[in-house]
Each structure stands twice: as structure tokens, then as C-alpha cells.
Amino acid sequence: MTLRFGVVGTGAIGREHIDRITNKLSGGKIVAVTDVNQESAKQTVETYQLDTVIHPDDKALIADENVDVVLVTSWGPAHESTVVAAVEAGKYVFCEKPLATTAAGCMRIVEAEMKQGKKLVQVGFMRRYDTGYAQLKQVIENNEIGEPLMIHAAHRNPAVGENYVTETAVQDTLIHEIDVLHWLVNDDYKTVQVTFPRKTKNAHEKLQDPQLFTIETVGGIVMNVEVFVNCKYGYDIQCEVVGEDGIAKLPEFPSVVMRKSEQLSTNILNDWKYRFMDAYNVEIQDFIDSIAKSGEPQGPTSWDGYIAAVTSDACVKAQQTGKKERISLQERPAFYSEKILQNN
Ligand code: NAI
Ligand code: NAD
Ligand code: ISE
């Protein structure tokens, strides 16, 4: 069985996913694309020599009977309306993060999916498929460092564009830690507070950079996460879990160690595309295989998208108030209660 994908949004990650589904993975095929910038859609079809229909908009793509899966890689604010329409049409959806930019938007997706009576949606929280994070989770679950007490994490990008503002640091960047850290320690978030250190000279006027988020869990773990998106030196993801009996750290991305010119050095990457390349491949292959095997995706669900959005809303509020803000989730519906089988 070949899953037929229609892609909404042929920007940076849309093209990456088209390339991997067409040239690297098995069991999937791109049959349709659209983009609000139709020129971008045309260029993508040419670049990857795709035998696909170019639709004028997401509605036409969703209505295309040859499309089994809607791959949503448009801008975050456009996700909700595309996902709701695709789910209402009974199509599978792979949606890049964020599922929607607000908790209310995610809840509308959750309700539409529950009405269909089966899981249709997977959210692109690819870090759950990264081998480093999987190893770290294993160490914690094997009780090798005792109970986790604190997490120190950092999410650094070399630079961002002019349309990336203070809230984008939460909705686009911190959202990855928001998803992966509670999954790592199997706990729920309780509060968040934000501190703004001295601003770097490399950030534009509408962006406070860096930012420091202090997040407490219901179980009492305190996590501090630095988001620094004009760090200049590279794309760098750090995560250290401090436990009662020891400390476990996310492995560095593998790099040859060089001794040269009186220096000992390793390389640092400069782009998310390379840092999480394997994780993107594994997550989308898992999405394809799970649907083929069980008729439902097994990865991060709409409910995970909702948890991330509630937390992200509280983080944005905390940016504005400077106070400690509560993170309160609605009760998890039974529909989303099965164990999620990532990396199996
Ligand atoms: P991008 O700006 O390069 O591409 C977005 C594309 O979507 C553009 O071509 C734009 O014209 C199109 N678009 C926007 N609204 C649309 C709509 N309503 N209908 C059709 N096309 C529409 O953005 P990028 O970097 O590719 O990001 C896209 C999504 O992927 C975002 O949600 C982002 O958060 C996510 N992303 C996820 C990453 C990850 O590590 N999982 C990495 C990079 C992006
Ligand atoms: P991008 O700006 O390069 O691409 C977005 C594309 O969507 C553009 O081509 C734009 O024209 C198109 N678009 C916007 N609204 C649309 C709409 N309503 N209908 C159709 N097309 C529309 O952005 P990107 O970097 O590719 O990011 C896209 C998404 O992927 C974002 O949600 C982003 O958060 C996510 N992303 C995730 C990761 C990750 O690590 N998982 C990395 C990068 C981006
Ligand atoms: C981008 O959208 C991503 O998802 C990357 O993984 C992240 O590092 C970056 O900050 C976002 O803008």
C-alpha cells in the first residue's frame, strides 16, 4: 500500500519532507501540492521532478480524492483551519508543530478528530524520535540517575529573520522543549516564569533575545530552558538532567575530533535540517508504517499538540506579566489514553 500525500506549504520544511518521502523513505508518494505562493509550489514540483497536481489552495487539495494524507507545512497560524478541514474530510494529517498556535485552536482539532472516531493526526514533534533523547529517556526510566530533580536545557539558533518576534521564541522554538521535556520525565507542567537577561546586540527591535524559562512540574522538577536564537556560533541543542544519584546529558551530535594547529576541535552544526535529519526520517517512516499496519498513526497526537499549546499560551503570558503563570490542562479524554509506541 502506498500512502498518497498532498502537501500544504512548500517552504523550507515542506521541501525537506517532500524530498525525504520521494527519495529516502518507503511507502509514501507526493501526489499533490499547494502553497499560498503558487510560484513556490511550481518551483518545488520542478526541483523535485514530481508527478503531482498543483492545487490553488488547501480546500481543493483536501477535496482531491487521490490524497490520503494532508502534510501541513505552512506557517503555524495557518495550520488550524487546514487540519480541521482535513480531519472533517476523514483524511490523515501529518502537521508540523505547532498543531495550532493556541490551546483553543488545538481543542477544535481534538474535537473534530474525536468526532471521526479514530486517530488521524500526528504532530511533527520529531525529538521523540531522536536517538539521543530516546537514550536519555531510557537512562531515566531505568532509574540510573535516581529521581530527576532539575533539567538544564538550551535551544540555540545562529540567527532568525525580521518576522521572528518575542512570542515566536515560544510558539516556534521553545515548543520543542515543551513537548520533549515532560515526555522525557513523564510528568505534567505546573507553572512557568520568564526572565529576560541583557539583550544581545544581534537581535532586532521586536525580539527579546535571549530568554530564560523556568518551568516547574507537578512532581516538583524544576527546568530552566534558555532560548537564544541569535547566538551566532551555530545550531546547538543542550539538555542535562540532574538526578538524585547522577547526571545524564543529551549526547552531542557526532563529529570527528580534530587535532590541528595546536587545537583540539569538533564541528558544531548550523541548521535544524542537519541536527534532526535522522529524527525527521524516522518519524515520517513511522507515520507511514503505523497507518499501513494499524490504520492509525502512533506518534505524537492532537492531545500532545494541545498540551504543548496550553503550555505555550502560559509561557507567552509569562513573557508579558513577568510573573509565575499556571499551566492548567483539561482532563485527558479516554480517546487519547493508549500508550504511544514511539521508537519501537
Ligand atoms: P516556510 O516559511 O519556509 O514555509 C512555509 C510555506 O507555507 C511557505 O511557502 C508559505 O507560502 C506556505 N503557506 C503558508 N500558509 C499557507 C497556507 N495557508 N496554505 C498554503 N501554503 C501556505 O516555513 P518553514 O520553516 O518550512 O516552517 C513551516 C512549518 O514547519 C512551521 O509550522 C514550522 O514551525 C515547522 N517547522 C518545523 C521544524 C521542525 O524541526 N519540526 C523545522 C522548521 C519548521
Ligand atoms: P517556510 O516559511 O519556509 O514555509 C512555509 C510555507 O507555507 C511558505 O511557502 C508559505 O508560502 C506557505 N504557506 C503559508 N500559509 C499557507 C497557507 N495557508 N496555505 C498554503 N501555504 C501556506 O516555513 P518553514 O520553516 O518551512 O516552517 C513551516 C512549518 O514547519 C512551521 O510550522 C514550522 O514551525 C515548522 N518547522 C518545524 C521544524 C522542526 O524542527 N520540526 C523545523 C522548521 C519548521
Ligand atoms: C524552527 O521552526 C524549528 O522548528 C527548529 O527546530 C527550531 O530550532 C527553530 O527555532 C524554529 O524556528
Q: Which atom of ligand 3 is nearest to the CA of 173?
A: 10
Cβ atoms of 56 and 77 within 8 Å: the answer is no
The residues near 154 (Cβ < 8 Å, ≥ 6 apart) are 225, 226, 227, 228, 236, 237, 238, 239
Ligand 2 contacts CB of residue 312 (under 6 A): no
Quick one: pLDDT at residue 339? 55
Ligand 3 contacts CB of residue 168 (under 6 A): no
Quick one: pLDDT at residue 341? 44
User: Has residue 319 been placed in a domain?
Assistant: no
Q: Which atom of ligand 3 is nearest to the CA of 237?
A: 8
Ligand 2 contacts CB of residue 21 (under 6 A): no
Ligand 2 contacts CB of residue 102 (under 6 A): no
- CATH number where 254 lies: 3.30.360.10
User: Has residue 68 been placed in a domain?
Assistant: yes
Q: Can you give the residue range of the structural domain that contains 215?
A: 146-266
The x, y and z cell numbers of residue 309, run together, are 499549546
User: Has residue 141 been placed in a domain?
Assistant: no
Ligand 1 contacts CB of residue 96 (under 6 A): yes
Residues 117 and 170 in one domain: no
Residues 261 and 282 in one domain: no
According to DSSP, the residues that pair with 260 across neighbouring strands are 263
User: Has residue 255 been placed in a domain?
Assistant: yes
Residues 115 and 152 in one domain: no
**Ligand 1 binding pocket mutation candidate from 38, 74, 129 (most atoms within 8 A of CB):** 74
Ligand 3 contacts CB of residue 176 (under 6 A): yes
Quick one: pLDDT at residue 326? 98
Q: How far is the CA of 253 from the centre of ligand 2 (A)?
A: 25
Ligand 2 contacts CB of residue 58 (under 6 A): yes
Domains held by the chain: number: 2
User: In the predicted model, what is the mean pLDDT of residues 1-26?
Assistant: 97
User: Has residue 40 been placed in a domain?
Assistant: yes
Q: What is the pLDDT of residues 251-300, one digit of tens each?
A: 999 999 999 999 999 999 999 999 999 999 999 999 999 999 999 999 99
Quick one: pLDDT at residue 1? 83
**Ligand 2 binding pocket mutation candidate from 33, 35, 44 (most atoms within 8 A of CB):** 35
- CATH number where 28 lies: 3.40.50.720
Closest CA to 287 of 70, 52, 51, 16: 70
Q: How far is the CA of 323 from the centre of ligand 1 (A)?
A: 32
DSSP letter at 205 equals T
- The answer on pLDDT for 337 being more than 90 is no
Residues 59 and 105 in one domain: yes
User: In the predicted model, what is the mean pLDDT of residues 118-145?
Assistant: 98
User: In the predicted model, what is the mean pLDDT of residues 80-98?
Assistant: 98
The residues near 330 (Cβ < 8 Å, ≥ 6 apart) are 107, 306
Q: How far is the CA of 14 from the centre of ligand 3 (A)?
A: 13
pLDDT > 70 in the chain, percent: 98
Residues 40 and 62 in one domain: yes
Q: How far is the CA of 10 from the centre of ligand 2 (A)?
A: 7
Residues 122 and 7 in one domain: yes
Quick one: pLDDT at residue 338? 58
- The answer on pLDDT for 63 being more than 50 is yes
User: In the predicted model, what is the mean pLDDT of residues 111-138?
Assistant: 98
Q: Which atom of ligand 3 is nearest to the CA of 97?
A: 4
Closest CA to 182 of 125, 114, 105: 125
Residues 15 and 88 in one domain: yes
Residues 172 and 56 in one domain: no
Ligand 1 contacts CB of residue 99 (under 6 A): no
Residues 40 and 94 in one domain: yes
Q: How far apart are the first and last CA of the chain?
A: 21
Quick one: pLDDT at residue 10? 98
Q: What is the pLDDT of residues 196-235, one digit of tens each?
A: 999 999 999 999 999 999 999 999 999 999 999 999 999 9
Ligand 2 contacts CB of residue 211 (under 6 A): no
In this prediction the ipTM stands at 0.82
Q: Is 335 exposed, middle or buried (0-12, 13-18, 19+ CB in 10 A)?
A: middle
Residues 70 and 161 in one domain: no
User: Has residue 214 been placed in a domain?
Assistant: yes
pLDDT > 90 in the chain, percent: 97
Which residue owns the Cα nearest ligand 1 atom 44? 13
Residues 260 and 282 in one domain: no
Ligand 3 contacts CB of residue 272 (under 6 A): yes
**From CA 311, how far away is CA 118, in angstroms rounded?**
25
Ligand 3 contacts CB of residue 157 (under 6 A): yes
Which residue owns the Cα nearest ligand 1 atom 4? 11
- The answer on pLDDT for 342 being more than 70 is no
